Amino acid sequence: MKATKEHQLLLLSLQAFDSKINQLRTQLINLPEVKELETITKKLTDFGENLKSIQGEEDAINQELKRSENDVELVETRIQRDEKRLASGTGTAKELEQTQHELETLHKRKSELEEVELEIMVRKEEIDQRLKIQNSEIEKLSKAKADLEASVSTKSSQLNDQISKATEERNESIKNISVDLANLYEKIRTNSSGVGAARLFDGKCEGCNLTLNAVEITRIKGLPEDEVVRCEECNRILVRV
């Protein structure tokens, strides 16, 4: 293929734009904040699941405490009823004696129930403390996530702006290159990790960084300057400078 030396040199500028765009896209994909965000999001999910579990325990302990309070209240009601009966002196001596005995039993039962109630309250306090800690951690993680999302948004916007600008400049640059040469460059670039053209400098292809043998260098030196040269190793266009 033939192409003017000027057009071949323009390939290096075009390649510089493409390399820059690829680097920017790589930065965009590999923003460190994105990985941190994934980690924090997973932690938030785990904490959320733990929170649901603790909230389930809280619901159960509240129901248990309510039943215990009802049991104590029921016994207290019976105690008040029996105390009124005794205070009134209504009934036979035997009945009053039975009421007194029942009162003793009820007071003992109330004491036992209050111990159970206290034990439930202790367990409830422990669950409430775990809930407090869990919610605090979720709040911290949520703030960190929001900060990271803001950072990702800002950096992504900046990188996308740079990519857009470089792409516009790149599209203007390719207009100055002959269609056949541009098409060949695009085809090679697509199949060669984004690099379609490279300098031939000091006997080395800067595309694959391999030094050409003496015979090939001599052959290339004998070619006219409008001859498009390809690297024998990587097949990229070699631009003689």
Residue whose C-alpha is closest to residue 8's, from 196, 163, 169? 196
Rounded Cα gap, residues 106 and 102, in angstroms? 6
pLDDT at residue 23 in the model: 96
Task: Identify any residues that bridge with 204 across adjacent strands, giving them in sequence order.
Answer: 201, 211
| The residue type at 230 | R
Handedness of CA 179, 180, 182, 186 (dihedral sign): positive
What tens digit of pLDDT does each residue of 178-229 get?
999 999 999 999 999 999 999 999 999 999 999 999 999 999 999 999 999 9
Strand pairing class (197-201; 237-240): parallel
Cβ atoms of 79 and 113 within 8 Å: the answer is no
Q: Alpha carbon of 5 to those of 28, 155, 197, 212, 228: distances in Å? A: 35, 39, 13, 21, 9
How far apart (Å, rounded) are the C-alpha atoms in residues 149 and 141? 12
DSSP state, 227? B
What separation, in Å, do the N-terminal and C-terminal C-alpha atoms of the chain show?
18
Whole-angstrom CA distances from 33 to 36, 63, 105, 115, 164 are: 5, 44, 67, 53, 22
Residue 164 has a pLDDT of 98
Phi-psi region of 216 (alpha: psi -120 to 50; beta: other; left: phi over 0): alpha
What pLDDT is stored for residue 95 in this prediction?
A: 84
pTM higher than 0.85 for the full model? no
The pLDDT, as a whole number, for residue 94 is: 86
Q: Is 92 exposed, middle or buried (0-12, 13-18, 19+ CB in 10 A)?
A: exposed
Q: What is the pLDDT of residue 57?
A: 96
Q: What's the pLDDT score for residue 92?
A: 81
181 conformational bin, left if phi > 0, alpha if psi -120 to 50, beta if neither: alpha
Q: Tokens 């040199």 correspond to what residue?
A: 9
Structural domains in the chain plus CATH codes: 5-24+178-240 (no CATH), 31-174 (1.10.287.1700)
Q: How far apart are CA 3 and CA 228, in angstroms?
A: 6
Residues in the chain with pLDDT < 70? Answer: none
